Structure 1
Amino acid sequence: MFKGTDFLQSVKTIKSLEEYIIHIDFASQEIFKSNKIWFRGHANKNYKLIPSIFRTKEYSIESEKNLTEEFLDKAKGFIAGQTFDNNEWYFLMQHFGLKTRLLDWTEGYLFALFFSLKLNKGDNPFIDPCIWIINPEELNMLSLNKTVIIRTNDDLNKTLISEYLNFQNQKEELPIAISPTYSNERVLRQKGCFTLHSGNTTINSVYKKYRSKKIVKINISYKERSQMLEQLKLAGISESSIFPDLEGLSRELNSKYKF
């Protein structure tokens, strides 16, 4: 069902929701032997597992620092009466679409499938999407030598996270898996979680470095995108359920009525 040397990849390209669930069950029971697994959907199977801020050719520490500081300077006027620490502000940046060092994952495999099938501006509709699967505790064992998930509401973990977000720290740490406090309904609905990166080291390279193949990729047929999105709707997974606001409802209706 899966093969590979640097990571395990589905032998066949998935063409239905049923096939997808069969592969998820196999990965959970036979590869990870755990239900503590995270999923990430990519619209393009060739995308690397790094945050979007490190994918841009124009990236520099200075430009990232300026981007972050300007957001903090201007955003506080939009959220009057609420106070956040630096780490909480960083998660808000990610939530509102600013490019950050965070990579989105989810604990729900149907959510991940939806995100892989959903086309955004610039996505090529003729390239197969994919789903990546990791065990967050194993990633942190490889990166930190600790079999834990980093919880953001713990004071010791806040210090660790701050080190990853320190623009003066030029040492590139290995990516870590973190589970945030659910500060907004979108993250709550999507069962959101993150990997935090200090540079352009991919998730794959961490496993390759330690010769672990317990990272899984499931390829989805782009030709079945519309059909599988319809199957997800029947399972209650749609724009308005994942994005519980008027923006999500509007996108769902636009799609329904072909606008």
Structure 2
Amino acid sequence: MSAEFPITREIHSIGDLFECAEIASKAFTYVVWFRGHADNSASWDLRPTVHRKFPNTGYESALVMNFRRRALSRHPRCPDSNDQAAWLCLMQHYGVPTRLLDWTESILVAAYFAVHNSKRETDAAIWALSPVLLNQAFDLPHIPALSNPELKPLMRPAFGASGTDKGIIATLYDEVDLRMLIQQGVFTIHADRTPLEQLADSQRFLQKYRIPQAAKSKLEWQLRLAGVSQSKLFPDLQNLASEITDQQERVLERKENA
């Protein structure tokens, strides 16, 4: 088993978030992406859900086939049958396991996902990634769009076609819905099943920050004060209903404990 990835520093407040963003920006020189994990343990590694849940691409291609076959009658604007990048993004958006891993350009958004359930009795973590340095490690000098022909070999195995099982690339995609815009969403696409932090020389393009369990509730409150909340990041009625219900439950809990 490989050694656990080292912690760069701890985060206790929203001020620490900005300091960590500055540290990452200086260390990587280029643009920085972030990802929040509600659990800091090594079992929450940097792998897409489909690689975490299923042992080979046979299960993955079955997911793709069944989703594409049945989505046409349920979604008014399905992608063209040959647009593999658009299909992967649509699946990712609706929670189907794919070989895409979500990142954000905002450390505040990443922190929300790390501490949203602050009652979880574990430390949380935020990862910082240099997409430019990651791609350079795979001999790609830029950050391509997911639809770029250079990435097709990484996508084809998900669709039951021959491709490659090597490579993890940082990629961009069109902001096809409001959620992607608000969350400042970006992706890495993983043909390789190895967790990102276990790649050789991963400390060249990755940093990790720990959020102690005792600091999560305070940080979640500070994020709400800064306007980073469930209904803002997921702008639909379902998440609005969940947020306002949670708010009133908190009010009641404070009154009962007064």
Alignment TM class, shorter chain as reference: 0.7 to 0.9
Contact 1:7 / 1:215 at 8 angstroms: preserved in 2? Answer: no
CA displacement, residues 161-185 of structure 1 (integer Å, 9 cap, x when unaligned): 5346453437421211111111111
Which residue is 1:137 aligned to? 132
Which residue is 1:174 aligned to? 167
Which residue is 1:24 aligned to? 21
Between the aligned partners of 1:124 and 1:163, the Cα distance in structure 2 is 40
What secondary structure sits across from 1:77 in the alignment? coil
CA gap of 1:19–1:83, structure 2 versus 1, over 3 A, is closer
Q: Could you tell me the percent identity over the aligned residues?
A: 29
CA displacement, residues 140-179 of structure 1 (integer Å, 9 cap, x when unaligned): 1112x1221111354x346345346453437421211111
Which residue is 2:36 aligned to? 41
Query: Does the alignment pair 1:55 with 2:46?
Result: no
CA gap of 1:41–1:148, structure 2 versus 1, over 3 A, is same
Query: Does the alignment pair 1:253 with 2:250?
Result: no
Between the aligned partners of 1:177 and 1:72, the Cα distance in structure 2 is 25
What secondary structure sits across from 1:103 in the alignment? strand
What secondary structure sits across from 1:177 in the alignment? strand
Between the aligned partners of 2:246 and 2:25, the Cα distance in structure 1 is 33
Between the aligned partners of 2:58 and 2:95, the Cα distance in structure 1 is 20
The number of equivalent residue pairs is 244
CA gap of 1:70–1:157, structure 2 versus 1, over 3 A, is same
Between the aligned partners of 2:121 and 2:13, the Cα distance in structure 1 is 17
CA gap of 1:146–1:227, structure 2 versus 1, over 3 A, is same
Query: Does the alignment pair 1:214 with 2:210?
Result: no
Query: Does the alignment pair 1:125 with 2:125?
Result: no
Between the aligned partners of 2:141 and 2:128, the Cα distance in structure 1 is 17
CA gap of 1:222–1:211, structure 2 versus 1, over 3 A, is closer
CA gap of 1:75–1:211, structure 2 versus 1, over 3 A, is closer
Instruction: Please report the TM-score for the alignment, with normalisation by the length of structure 2.
Output: 0.86
Which amino acid in 1 is paired with 2:102?
Answer: D
Which of these residues, 85, 88, 103, is aligned with residue 87 of structure 1? 85
Which amino acid in 2 is paired with 1:218?
Answer: Y
Which amino acid in 2 is paired with 1:103?
Answer: L
Which residue is 1:98 aligned to? 96
CA displacement, residues 130-149 of structure 1 (integer Å, 9 cap, x when unaligned): 00011101111112x12211
Q: Which runs of 4+ in 1 moved over 3 A?
A: 5-8, 81-84, 157-171, 210-214
Give the superposition deviation at 1:212: 4.6
Which residue is 1:162 aligned to? 155
Higher mean C-alpha displacement, 82-91 vs 240-249: 82-91
CA gap of 1:157–1:185, structure 2 versus 1, over 3 A, is farther
Which residue is 1:189 aligned to? 182
Give the superposition deviation at 1:69: 0.8
Contact 1:87 / 1:161 at 8 angstroms: preserved in 2? Answer: no
